[in-house]
Structure 1
Amino acid sequence: MSDIMGRARARGVTRLCHCTKSANLSHILGSREIRPVATLREAADAYRPADIQRLDGAPDHTFLSVEYPNAWYQSQAADRDPHFRDWVVLTLDAELLATPGARFCPYNSARDGSCGALPGTEAFDALFAPTVTGNAARKRERAHPTWWPTDDQAEIQIPGTIPLSAVRSVIVRNGQQAALEHHRLTQFGMAALLPPLVVAPVLFDKRALSASVRSGIRPPETPYVLRATLAE
């Protein structure tokens, strides 16, 4: 086990998360991987970018968060594209933290073009510093869990692609969206590739999610059970 993984396990970190528009799910399943923007551009693949500004300056990296999604970023990105409002959260193996070249930024890296995104154990530990200054100073209060970064928008930047095999589940806002995503992928012949669907509305509410996790309360997540229609 790497030093970073040892630190993550000691803190109780169980998973990583990646936000994307639901319109990109079929592309991820079809290619069997999550690809960074730079790779998608080179391949001229059909995809709908979540962030056209890319102030982070790292299009060759895939952005993840620790344990829960960056709902603040997701909310802002969704507002920029009113025609595609459905988003999903992919949960991934925590072992990706040990990926060679992985970088860690204790705040949203769009603030400084990823200057604060650094590799190594010290950079990982900085995610959980007593105080982190991004767009404002964030402090760890008494109830702040060990597994949650000090700033809600802390990032992990993974170079290159991430295999579909690292995806553990796909989280959606409600049961209606879960049924719709399953139907869409069935139409594309990709339902068999879809990781388990999970319903967790709080993960799409930036204020509710922040209040919950910063007090150490894990929001409820309910596995989606597909209701088969019986032929008469």
Structure 2
Amino acid sequence: MMRLFRKEDVAGDVRRRKVEILLHSTHLTINLPRILEDGYVDTARGLRGRLGEHAERLLHDPRRLEKFAVGLDYINCSLTDPNYELLYARSKSAWQAEWVHFKLSLELLSHPDTMFCPVSAAQDHGQHVTTGLEGFRTMFAEQVDTYSRDGLSKNEPTHPQAEVLINGKLPLELVQEIITPDAQAMNEVQRLLEFYHQKIPVTVEPKFFLWPKRLKK
């Protein structure tokens, strides 16, 4: 009797690795009010088209787009943990108080135009960015640059700057909750949500704002 095998896909690997967290990090005072007013997270190209030179202050890392033009049309995200190095590079000592994380629908990982990168997407001008199941799996390779999987859970990408890139605008309907570091930040997010007439659950989860032991500042 012929056995039927389910075709392997990204969603299957997500389940197998028990990946439960897809995050987009945004600045509490600079970005979040604009996002809640717009009703979506916009791409760098979209922001520049609408706001011109005023868009630059809203971009997480404008300089990387000079090396990675494809990133103009994508929203950068991370799996399981935030991209701590990016947040620290922008905010230095105050990064824990200045950022919040959008927890996104995992269905975005299975979109055919979602891209994956085992390192920072801008590294080597985007040469490491790929799509599909093989692209997803590169994020969990046994060795990526100087990083290995020693001591990592199976849902943690090997490199701390591994990225998921979501194509186009990201509507707030795909944001399942907003993660904050403490009660003060949660209260401010809730105030902004009420002001802009948006309804998204808000949680306090300090573990997403603790500097990982394997990284050096």
- What TM-score, normalized to structure 1? 0.78
Change (3 A) 1:114 1:206: farther
CA drift at 1:2: 7.5
Output one character per residue of 1:98-133: Cα deviation in whole Å (capped at 9) or x when no partner. 122111100112322221111121111111111111
The equivalent residue for 1:86 is 98
What code does the residue aligned with 1:76 have? Answer: A
Which of 189, 205, 209 pairs up with 1:204?
209
Count of matched residue pairs: 201
In structure 1, what residue type is equivalent to 2:119?
Y
Question: 2:83 is aligned with what amino acid?
Answer: N
CA contact (8 A) 2:177 2:202 kept: yes
SS in 2 for 1:158: strand
* Contact kept? 1:107, 1:154, Cα under 8 Å: yes
Q: Distance in 2 between matches of 1:3 and 1:171?
A: 29
Q: Note if contact 2:193-2:200 (Cα within 8 Å) is conserved in structure 1.
A: no
Q: Answer yes or no: is 1:59 the counterpart of 2:76.
A: no
- Equivalent residue in structure 1 for 2:131, among 114, 119, 122: 119
Partner of 1:139: 148
Matched residues in 2 for 1:125 and 1:102: separation? Answer: 13
Post-superposition Cα deviations, 1:128-150, rounded to whole Å, max 9, x if no partner, equal: 111111xxx11111x42111111
Deviations 1:132-188 (A, max 9, x none): 11xxx11111x42111111121101111112211101111121111112323444xx
1:155 alignment partner AA: E
Match of 1:19 among 25, 42, 54: 25
Measure, in 2, the Cα distance between the counterparts of 1:65 and 1:206.
Answer: 15
Rounded to whole Å, the distance in 1 between the matches of 2:178 and 2:73 is: 23
The structure 1 segments of at least 4 consecutive aligned residues displaced by more than 4 Å after TM superposition are none
> 1:171 and 2:171 equivalent?
no
Q: Structure 2: where are the runs of 5+ without partners?
A: 1-6
Question: What is the distance in 2 between the residues matched to 1:62 and 1:106?
Answer: 16
| SS of aligned partner of 2:62 | coil
Superposition RMSD on alpha carbons, in Å? 2.4
Is the Cα contact below 8 Å between 1:29 and 1:194 reproduced in 2?
A: no
Going from structure 1 to structure 2, the CA distance change for 1:2 and 1:40 (only over 3 Å counts) comes to farther
Aligned to 1:41: 48
Q: What is residue 4 of structure 2 aligned with on the other side?
A: none
1:75, distance to aligned residue in structure 2 (A): 0.9
Structure with a larger share of its residues in helix: 2
* TM-score normalised by L of structure 2: 0.83
Give SS of 1:112's match: helix
Asked if 1:158 corresponds to 2:166, the answer is yes
Uncovered stretches (5+) of structure 1, i.e. residues with no partner: 212-232
